[in-house]
A and B are shown apart, each in its own frame.
Chain A
Amino acid sequence: MLALLLRRLLTALPTLGAVILLSFVLMRLAPGGPFDGERALDPATRAALASAYGLDRPLGEQLFRYVARLAQGDFGPSLVYRDFTVTDLVRQGLPISLTLGGLALALALLLGLGAGIWAAARAGGRADRALMHGATLLTVLPTFVTGPLLVLLFGLWAGWLPVSGWGGGDPAHLLLPVIALALPVAGAIAKLSRAGLAGALAQDHIRTARARGLAPAWIILRHALRPALVPVASYVGPAAAGLLTGAVVIETVFALPGLGRYFVQGALNRDYPLVLGVVTLYAALILLFNLLADLLYGWLDPRIRG
């Protein structure tokens, strides 16, 4: 198990390095800069700004300094939010994004696994087919359509829930964003767990368990579910990526002050350090979740270990 973990880390680290290098190089290749405003700055001011942010040093040195600071959790100053460092913004926005993503993941697992198990127990039946069509529909629904639609239905027309804002973490404010974010992930989990479980239920040891007269619910929970969850575990990495990307839209739609919103603002305003920092952070998070998926794999199905 430890060897597996080490090997996975060895592939994850170069990927992370590649992301940092790629985004750093792209940043410097980009035409125009953060100081190009409405009015042209006089050369002295421009030079002073460049030196204050270390932009006048050789590229290699800039990269080295950036990575060295990154290792200490320092993402550098934000170029647009002048009084904040990127670390400040991350510290402010990340908890909100993680709350949103974590709750959405929990909801998606609940709905997805529930629907998947329910459907697999009735494989081939009408309920199974209807549920799986519904799940396919959910997976293709973009969050930027479902989000506003939910606001329209429950916020504006029915008037049950607040339309936008964080509300200091008030559950009523969180409900719609979490649902909108969870739906596509729930659909994917439902499809994967249904396929996995239907396959597991067709195996010999399940037939034996049935022949011994065990209760169907017990058979599913005790004998079939664990190997059936392997495809779901493999989806953990992509799900994390999907939730993070979805959160960017959801935070914009619902005006939540999360990291995704800073990211979009940073991209629109060409705030290099901010965008670079968020991409690096997100890449690290996604790689972490992929690592987690590999460990889950081994735990769920010992045959994969080694």
Chain B
Amino acid sequence: MKPLLLFGLIVMLALVVPPFLPWGYDVIDWQAVRAPALSPGHLLGTDAVGRDLLARALVGTRVTLAVAGAAALVALVIGVAWGAVAGWCGGRIDEAMMRIVDLLYPLPFMFVVILLMALFGRSILLVFLGIGAVEWLTMARVVRGQVMALRERPFVLAAEASGARPFAIMRGHVLPNLAGVAIAYLLLTVPQVVMVESFLSFLGLGVQEPLTSLGILVKEGADDMDMAPVALLLPGGLLVAILICLTLAGERLRDRLAA
């Protein structure tokens, strides 16, 4: 579980360190525009307008992870509910619900999310609602398969035969058995959502200034990389590390549960 350890470390740093840094993420130090790394007060230097790079990267990580976590939870709730109902009911309801998933699956979602951002203005709430609402499809498919298998298991049949209500069976017997798979796919959904959020922010359609996120920082760094490569490498490196850690952890958990 080394990848999760590194991820935990990044989260801890992002949560704990910023208040102890001498400069806030949005405070301009007029004396130190584009300061190199290891300048007094700025461990990793400053950006093109004199804001502390380390503080910005850590706060950006916070925002990116918060948006991604919230969006992944939206996806989890919709996906599990949709898949569980379809798998439990079976028959025509199942067919209709899965048909909708099949229809939505090949759509270019990145573009639909961009469309949403363009239409309804660029609010952070909409960013994660929009992303969450389009990332639930895989979860719904996986959960449906699991529920269909669980439905035939003796303990579920026994609960049904003893007259338990479907809702109670779902809560008491089905959902707890779904937890493992749901967590594995949640771990795999988060990096995808991180990617979408950073993508949108990079293009200027996601999180808006003065708030910052890793996508915005990569964009700023890319604009200024000939002067200060750290401005690109630091947020880029953090982003890639987060993506790799979560993907590896998710894949491992998924494969272990499948075996």
Determine which residue in A142, A279, A286 has the highest number of CB atoms from chain B within 10 A of its CB, and name it: A142
Q: Which residue of B lies closest to A276 (CB)?
A: B115
Q: Quick one: given A263-B114, A286-B107, are A144 and B215 in contact (CB under 8 Å)?
A: yes
- Total A-B contacts with CB atoms under 8 angstroms apart: 125
Contact residues, A91-138 vs B (CB, 8 A) = 136-137
A283 proximal to B (CB < 8 A): yes
Contacts of B236 in A (CB 8 A): 145, 148-149
Return the contact of A264 from the options B203, B221, B243, B247 (Cβ within 8 A).
Answer: B203
**A282 contacts B111, C-beta separation under 8 Å:** yes
Q: Which residue of B lies closest to A289 (CB)?
A: B106
Chain B contact residues: helix, strand, loop or mixed? helix
**A142 contacts B195, C-beta separation under 8 Å:** yes
Min CB–CB distance A245 → chain B (angstroms): 4
> How many residues from A make CB contacts under 8 Å with B?
50
A177 proximal to B (CB < 8 A): no
B73 proximal to A (CB < 8 A): no
Return the contact of A268 from the options B118, B120, B198, B215 (Cβ within 8 A).
Answer: B118
B154 proximal to A (CB < 8 A): no
Contact residues, B210-229 vs A (CB, 8 A) = 215, 218-219, 221-222, 225-226, 229
Q: Quick one: given A145-B240, A267-B117, A268-B118, are A252 and B203 in contact (CB under 8 Å)?
A: yes
Determine which residue in B111, B119, B226 has the highest number of CB atoms from chain A within 10 A of its CB, and name it: B111
Q: Quick one: given A19-B107, A148-B222, A249-B203, are A140 and B115 in contact (CB under 8 Å)?
A: no
Produce 1/0 per residue, A152-190, CB < 8 A to B.
100010000000000000000000000000000000000
Q: Which residue of A lies closest to B239 (CB)?
A: A145
A41 proximal to B (CB < 8 A): no
Contact residues, B224-259 vs A (CB, 8 A) = 225-226, 229, 232, 236, 239-240, 243-244, 247-248, 251
**Cα(A212)–Cα(B83), bound, Å:** 49
Return the contact of B205 from the options A11, A245, A268 (Cβ within 8 A).
Answer: A268
Q: Which residue of A lies closest to B246 (CB)?
A: A140
Return the contact of A275 from the options B108, B115, B248 (Cβ within 8 A).
Answer: B115
Return the contact of B199 from the options A144, A237, A282 (Cβ within 8 A).
Answer: A144
Q: Which residue of A lies closest to B103 (CB)?
A: A15
B204 proximal to A (CB < 8 A): yes
Contacts of B191 in A (CB 8 A): 140
Contacts of A156 in B (CB 8 A): 225-226
Produce 1/0 per residue, A220-259, CB < 8 A to B.
0000000000000000010001001100110011000000
Q: Quick one: given A144-B218, A148-B222, A267-B114, are A11 and B248 in contact (CB under 8 Å)?
A: no
A193 proximal to B (CB < 8 A): no
Min CB–CB distance A166 → chain B (angstroms): 19
**A244 contacts B108, C-beta separation under 8 Å:** yes
Contacts of B222 in A (CB 8 A): 144, 147-148, 151, 253
B95 proximal to A (CB < 8 A): no
Q: Quick one: given A15-B106, A26-B119, A148-B221, are A141 and B203 in contact (CB under 8 Å)?
A: no
A29 proximal to B (CB < 8 A): yes
A-B contact pairs, 16 of them (CB 8 A): A11-B102, A140-B195, A140-B244, A145-B218, A145-B240, A148-B222, A148-B236, A152-B225, A241-B106, A244-B108, A264-B114, A275-B114, A275-B115, A275-B118, A282-B108, A286-B107
A residues near B (Cβ < 8 Å) are 11, 14-15, 18-19, 22-23, 26-27, 29-32, 136-137, 139-142, 144-145, 147-149, 151-152, 156, 237, 241, 244-245, 248-249, 252-253, 263-264, 266-268, 270, 275-276, 278-279, 282-283, 286-287, 290
B residues near A (Cβ < 8 Å) are 102-104, 106-108, 110-112, 114-121, 191, 195, 198-199, 202-205, 215, 218-219, 221-222, 225-226, 229, 232, 236, 239-240, 243-244, 247-248, 251
